[in-house]
């Protein structure tokens, strides 16, 4: 009995082999693309968006919460970290009229605090919102995204930088080791570590009792509810957790860029990350991680095309949804099953 439970526990929490392959490739990547090159910067951004996409997928694909507030949580985390870690002198120079919020926290603490601020906002929004039906949730979170712009513009006195940039964020440092923006290789391995930690957390959540509750609610809602599965409670937990992790990702972004602007809340980034989640495959972790890398890179490639970039990205979304509803993950799966079937047929043929 005991060993059975142990076995299922191991089966549930075991990390699939593909992760290690991906980790190996990621570890060696700078060797191939050149240390400190522009490509390394793109991959750092890819890891950051992958974390956001992961959490978005956790919400939308697994928990079935149709949330559009992910970038808002990211921005809240980034701004909170930026404000809390900035020294009072730098803040006053940037136009803040009060220095209460400038604690000059060490960056790692500031990032955690930023995540907690994002989680608190997520909790407060989720409390009334998650009782509503899906489309209403989409709407309220989308409105949060819009409203945040107003708060940041109006928040100039407390040091958000208003309509201009939030500057003077110190570089990330831990235990005397400093990570300036130019030290890209250093940052790459930092973000790689954080990213894989986040992916592991996502993996664990999906395979935990919360994850099973969501699968139950998705597949047989009434039956699951009759057995006492409280969807509101689980949704609130995931909503808050996802806001926390996204806020932390925002904190790392703030220290990497050392400058924040309202461009974060522009349509560009919102759509790009959303595309990663859709194309990666809703509810098909880790498809969105792969998609994050493909699309961050593709977005850079398409940048010279300017106007056509939006048109191409939009067309990709429509075509993928119509032709491959499961996204990348779905394509991989069907290709894999085709190959397997091909092998099976061949072995059958050879036996005959």
Stretch that binds other proteins, among 34-42, 126-134, 221-229, 236-244 (CB under 8 A): 126-134
The beta strands (E) that lie in 69-108 are given as: none
Give the residues across from 177 on adjacent strands. 174
Does the footprint of other proteins cover residue 232 (CB under 8 A)? no
* Total of chain residues touching other proteins, rule CB under 8 A: 40
Does the footprint of other proteins cover residue 143 (CB under 8 A)? yes
Candidate residues 100, 150, 177, 182; the one interacting with other proteins per rule CB under 8 A? 150
Instruction: Fill in the per-residue mask, 175 to 214: x = in contact with other proteins (CB under 8 A), - = not in contact.
Output: ----------------------------------------
Does the footprint of other proteins cover residue 129 (CB under 8 A)? yes
Does the footprint of other proteins cover residue 35 (CB under 8 A)? no
* CA dihedral sign, ordered 68, 70, 71, 75: positive
Q: Shortest gap between Cβ of 204 and other proteins (angstroms)?
A: 25
Distances (CA, A) of 314 to 86, 149, 204, 319: 39, 25, 33, 9
Candidate residues 9, 321, 335, 344; the one interacting with other proteins per rule CB under 8 A? 321
Give buried/exposed letters for 292-327 (b at 16+ CB in 10 A, else e).
Answer: bbbbbebbeebeeeeeebeeebeeeeeebeeeeebb
Does the footprint of other proteins cover residue 135 (CB under 8 A)? yes
- Using the minimum distance from each CB to other proteins, give the nearer residue, 182 or 267: 267
Q: Is 90 helix (H, G, I), strand (E, B) or coil?
A: helix
Q: Shortest gap between Cβ of 73 and other proteins (angstroms)?
A: 15
- Using the minimum distance from each CB to other proteins, give the nearer residue, 4 or 219: 219
Q: Are 51 and 198 spatial neighbours (Cβ–Cβ below 8 Å)?
A: yes
Q: Are 316 and 279 spatial neighbours (Cβ–Cβ below 8 Å)?
A: yes
* CA dihedral sign, ordered 57, 58, 61, 65: negative
Stretch that binds other proteins, among 31-39, 75-83, 255-263, 306-314 (CB under 8 A): 306-314
| Cα gap 246→60, rounded to integer Å | 14
- Using the minimum distance from each CB to other proteins, give the nearer residue, 12 or 218: 218
Instruction: Fill in the per-residue mask, 263 to 302: x = in contact with other proteins (CB under 8 A), - = not in contact.
Output: ----x---x--x---x---x--------------------
At 95, give phi and psi (nearest 5°). 100, 10
| Cα gap 54→52, rounded to integer Å | 5
Candidate residues 72, 140, 217, 244; the one interacting with other proteins per rule CB under 8 A? 140
Candidate residues 16, 24, 157, 325; the one interacting with other proteins per rule CB under 8 A? 325
Q: Are 113 and 105 spatial neighbours (Cβ–Cβ below 8 Å)?
A: yes
Instruction: Fill in the per-residue mask, 53 to 92: x = in contact with other proteins (CB under 8 A), - = not in contact.
Output: -------------x--------------------------
Give buried/exposed letters for 157-167 (b at 16+ CB in 10 A, else e).
Answer: eebbbbeebbb
Q: Shortest gap between Cβ of 139 and other proteins (angstroms)?
A: 5
The beta strands (E) that lie in 48-117 are given as: none
Q: Are 139 and 151 spatial neighbours (Cβ–Cβ below 8 Å)?
A: no
3-state helix, strand, coil in the chain (%, to 5): 75, 0, 20
Query: If you count them, how many residues does the chain have?
Result: 352
Instruction: List contacts with other proteins (CB under 8 A).
Output: 66, 128-129, 131-133, 135-136, 138-140, 142-144, 146-147, 149-151, 153-154, 267, 271, 274, 278, 282, 307-311, 313-318, 321-322, 325
């Amino acid at each position: 009995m005991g060993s059975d439970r142990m076995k299922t526990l191991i089966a549930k929490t075991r990390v699939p082999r593909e992760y290690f392959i991906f980790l190996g490739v990621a570890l060696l990547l700078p060797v191939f693309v050149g240390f400190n090159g522009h490509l390394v910067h793109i991959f750092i951004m890819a890891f950051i968006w992958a974390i956001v996409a992961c959490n978005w997928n956790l919400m939308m694909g697994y928990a079935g919460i149709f949330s559009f507030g992910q970038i808002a949580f990211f921005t809240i985390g980034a701004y909170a970290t930026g404000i809390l870690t900035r020294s009072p002198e730098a803040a006053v120079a940037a136009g803040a009229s009060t220095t209460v919020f400038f604690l000059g926290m060490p960056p790692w603490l500031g990032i955690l605090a930023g995540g907690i601020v994002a989680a608190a906002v997520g909790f407060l929004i989720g409390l009334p919102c998650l009782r509503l039906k899906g489309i209403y949730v989409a709407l309220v979170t989308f409105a949060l995204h819009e409203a945040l712009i107003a708060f940041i513009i109006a928040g100039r006195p407390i040091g958000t930088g208003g309509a201009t940039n939030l500057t003077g964020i110190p570089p990330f440092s831990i235990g005397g080791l400093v990570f300036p923006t130019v030290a890209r290789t250093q940052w790459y391995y930092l973000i790689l570590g954080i990213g894989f930690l986040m992916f592991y957390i996502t993996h664990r959540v999906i395979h935990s009792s919360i994850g099973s509750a969501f699968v139950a609610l998705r597949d047989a809602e009434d039956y699951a509810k009759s057995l006492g599965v409280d969807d509101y409670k689980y949704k609130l937990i995931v909503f808050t957790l996802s806001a926390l992790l996204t806020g932390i990702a925002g904190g790392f972004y703030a220290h990497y860029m050392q400058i924040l602007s309202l461009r974060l809340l522009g349509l560009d980034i919102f759509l790009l990350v959303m595309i990663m989640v859709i194309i990666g495959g809703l509810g098909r972790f880790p498809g969105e991680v792969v998609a994050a890398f493909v699309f961050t890179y593709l977005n850079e490639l398409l940048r010279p095309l300017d106007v056509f970039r939006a048109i191409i990205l939009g067309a990709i979304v429509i075509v993928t949804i119509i032709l491959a509803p499961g996204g990348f993950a779905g394509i991989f799966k069907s290709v894999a099953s085709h190959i397997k079937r091909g092998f099976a047929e061949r072995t059958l043929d050879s036996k005959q």
